[in-house]
Structure 1
Amino acid sequence: MKRGKKYVEAAKAVDRATLYDIPEAISLVKKVAVAKFDETIEAHIKTGCDGRHADQQIRGAVVLPHGTGKTVRVLVFAKNAKADEAQAAGADFVGGEELIPKIQNEGWLDFDVVVATPDMMGVVGRLGRVLGPKGLMPNPKAGTVTMDVTKAIADIKAGKIEYRLDKNNIIHVPLGKASFEEDALRENFQTLIDAINKAKPSTLKGQYLRSVTIAPTMGPGVKLNPVKLV
Structure 2
Amino acid sequence: MPSRHDTQCGQTQTKPSGRRLKVAQPTKAQLAAKERKRALKKARKNSAYASEKMTLEDAIAVLRAVEVAAPNSTYELVVKTAMIRGSTIPKGRFSLPREAKETTRDRILVFAEGKQAEEAKQAGADIVGGLELVDGVISGRYQASMFLCTPALIRAITPKLGRVLGPRGLMPSERRGTVTDNITGFIKKLKGTSEWKGDKAGAIRAPIGKLNWPIEDVVKNFRYFMTVVKRATGNQRDPDAPVDKKETGNKPPMAITKVVLSSRQGPGIQISDA
Into which bin does the TM-score normalised by the smaller protein fall?
A: 0.5 to 0.7
Q: 2:268 aligns with which of 211, 222, 230?
A: 222
SS in 1 for 2:170: coil
The residue that corresponds to 1:149 in the other structure is: 183
Matched to 1:222, the amino acid is: G
Q: Tell me, yes or no, if the aligned pair for 1:74 and 1:92 is still in contact at 8 Å.
A: yes
The alignment's TM-score, normalised by the length of structure 2, stands at 0.58
CA distance in 1, matches of 2:145, 2:74: 16
Q: Tell me, yes or no, if the aligned pair for 2:133 and 2:142 is still in contact at 8 Å.
A: no
| Shift in alpha-carbon separation, 1:114–1:211, aligned structure 2, 3 A | same
The residue that corresponds to 2:134 in the other structure is: 100
CA distance in 2, matches of 1:75, 1:52: 28
Tell me whether 1:191 sits opposite 2:224 in the alignment. yes
SS in 2 for 1:158: coil
Residues 123-162 of structure 1: matches in 2 within 5 Å? 123-125=156-158, 126-161=160-195
SS in 2 for 1:145: coil
How far did residue 81 of structure 1 move? Answer: 1.4
Q: 1:72 aligns with which of 106, 129, 142?
A: 106
SS in 1 for 2:144: coil
The residue that corresponds to 1:208 in the other structure is: 255
SS in 2 for 1:137: coil
> Which residues of structure 2 form unaligned runs of 5+?
1-34, 36-40, 237-248
CA distance in 1, matches of 2:188, 2:257: 33
CA distance in 1, matches of 2:268, 2:186: 33
RMSD value, Cα: 4.2
| Shift in alpha-carbon separation, 1:58–1:133, aligned structure 2, 3 A | closer
Larger Rg: 2
Matched to 2:79, the amino acid is: I
How far did residue 181 of structure 1 move? Answer: 5.2
Matched to 2:111, the amino acid is: F
The size of the alignment, in residue pairs, is 209
CA distance in 1, matches of 2:75, 2:217: 12
Q: Tell me, yes or no, if the aligned pair for 1:40 and 1:174 is still in contact at 8 Å.
A: no
Q: Tell me, yes or no, if the aligned pair for 1:74 and 1:113 is still in contact at 8 Å.
A: yes
The percentage of counterpart residues that share the same residue type is 26
Matched to 2:176, the amino acid is: A
